[in-house]
Amino acid sequence: MTESFIIHGDIVYSKDLTELACYENGWLVCDSGISGGVYKTREEIPVRYQAYPVVDHTDCLIIPGFTDLHLHAPQFAFRGLGMDKELIDWLDEVAFPEEAKYSDSRYAGTAYRMFAEAMKNSGTVRALIFGTRHTDATMLLMDAMEKTGLVSMVGKVNMDRNCPDTVREESSEVSLSETERWLQLTKERNYSNTYPILSPRFIPACSDDLMKGLANIQGKYHLPLQSHLSENQGEVKMVKKLCPWSTSYGQAYDRFGCFGANGPTVMAHCVWSSDEEMLMIKKNKVYVAHCPAANMNLSSGMAPTRKYISMGIKVGIGTDVGAGHCKSMFDAMVQTIEVSKLYWKYVDIHAKPVTMEEAFCLATRIGGSFFGKCGAFDEGYEFDALVLDEREIRTPIADLSLKERLERFIYLGEYRDIKAKYVRGSSILI
């Protein structure tokens, strides 16, 4: 239940990519699920909020919850497996055989309940999630996510070529018809926190007619869209062969109207994007979901995250479960920093590594902005917060700054150190 209250504790959030707002012994107002702002003293709180009950989290860090901008719910079941393969072989030999099992609603229901519980017991408050091509199973996923209280966008996957028969839809017409049916079912459910997002798997698995049809559906229903872009060099070559008229992978999406023209769009990975593709991403205001763990596990490469940030492209972070082996956004932030250091050292000495402040901003304010005013404690933003208990991260150092405490938690904290979690002002018990 959404309530109005005040949290007292040590509050940290991103003002922007380079600056943290830090309030030691600060006061954070939740006004019916919306942030009423952060104040240095109790006396500074506006009169209209003064009577709200105080939730005391003295000595705990209070930070915004994280937005996971890219992950696959059906792949949660086999995370940590097949990590010796590259993308296309991994899809054919590991991912697709598992996703075929979701034609069985009993299996899908069991697997998605496990996934949803794991998401609830994490630092993630919002997520963009791929399901499978199975409409009924995708509804079970949406039902499970709705029960968690988290905010999510969930997609029924579209794929009608270049994949095994067990996961391939019969035709573009069938795929589009099932998408319309899924959207109708979603509307009938009248969810509070769970929303549909169109999810073409990627250009290699979607015919021209299917992509054109999805663009029409996106325009008709005003939906966001998520897919994959330039993850693997072999995949990029495959797109060039399938779409010889395209000048880049992104241009293939753009020609079909699925690259920001008809609504908010997220593209995952973008490891091998050309300069032309990067400019198109920026021009079309497409978000990049950076997935460092998956890119390492499948030997896809190191995304030029610094270049995207420097260009003003909106970059969020994705765990990409299950090519990414861990659901923790804390780990994903660390991996983002680590990969950027390798990129700087071995690829481009001019591409400065991503800082802790930047990684934190990507995981909160910037990733959250795909959902609107989310990911920070500015007045008027939706109230998503984590309360972090550092007692198990022991140190004899007594004078750590809030910035240093946040950095330590990003590197050392675990989900069990999350003392409380709020989504849109509602308490989520983990």
Domains located in the chain, CATH noted: 5-64+376-427 (2.30.40.10), 66-371 (3.20.20.140)
Structure tokens, 12: 């940290």
Structure tokens, 298: 């499948």
**DSSP character at residue 104:** S
Residues with Cβ within 8 Å of residue 205, at least 6 apart in sequence: 159, 160, 161, 162, 163, 168
CA atoms within 13 A on the CB side of 217: 26
Predicted confidence pLDDT, tens digits, the chain (430 residues): 668 999 999 999 999 999 999 999 999 999 999 999 999 999 999 999 999 999 999 999 999 999 999 999 999 999 999 999 999 999 999 999 999 999 999 999 999 999 999 999 999 999 999 999 999 999 999 999 999 999 999 999 999 999 999 999 999 999 999 999 999 999 999 999 999 999 999 999 999 999 999 999 999 999 999 999 999 999 999 999 999 999 999 999 999 999 999 999 999 999 999 999 999 999 999 999 999 999 999 999 999 999 999 999 999 999 999 999 999 999 999 999 999 999 999 999 999 999 999 999 999 999 999 999 999 999 999 999 999 999 989 899 989 999 999 999 999 998 889 999 999 999 998 7
Q: Where are the alpha helices (DSSP H) in 243-363?
A: 249-255, 275-283, 292-297, 305-310, 329-346, 356-361
Q: Read off the pTM.
A: 0.97
**DSSP character at residue 16:** S
Sign of the dihedral through C-alpha 174, 179, 180, 185: positive
Q: Are 148 and 119 in contact (CB under 8 A)?
A: yes
